[in-house]
Amino acid sequence: MLRTVPELLAEVRAELRLLDAQAAMLEVANNSGTVIDVREPAEVQAKPASASVNIPRGVLEMLVTEKITDADHPIYIHCASGARATLAAEQLERIGYKSVTVISCPIDSVCEAQES
């Protein structure tokens, strides 16, 4: 039997570290972590998250190791709603990154937290 996307996301989220945008930005301010936005470029252009590095979900695995070479470097990942970020975080852990956090809130909250 096939699983639904909500079922898959619930299963994956149970194994990941999740924070809201405010808590994530406080941590980034203290640990110099990298915030990755996995939305598509057109989405970023329409609603920029100024303190994020844009690496679209479709090419994340191919590009992230060029940008972040330290497996212990803190990574905070977000998208528009949290779904793509959740799946992206799972992949980053499979690649070998050890400090991956999903910013699990809507993009408006991420933008507000980055601006404050």
Give per-residue pLDDT as tens, 99-115: 999 999 999 999 999 99
What would the mean pLDDT of 22-46 be, rounded to a whole number?
96
The pTM (predicted TM-score) of the whole model is: 0.93
Tell me the three state secondary structure of residue 26.
Answer: helix
Contact (CB, 8 A) for 6 and 81? no
Using 50, 70 and 90 to split pLDDT, how confident is the model at 61?
Answer: very high
Please say whether the dihedral angle defined by the alpha carbons of residues 43, 45, 47 and 49, taken in this order, is positive or negative: positive
What pLDDT, on a 0 to 100 scale, did the predictor assign at position 58? 94
Indicate the residue type of 107.
I
Residue 63 is encoded by which pair of tokens?
A: 């590009």
User: Cα separation of 104 and 61, whole Å?
Assistant: 20
pLDDT in tens, 16-31: 999 999 999 999 999 9
> Which domains, ranges and CATH numbers included, belong to the chain?
5-115 (3.40.250.10)
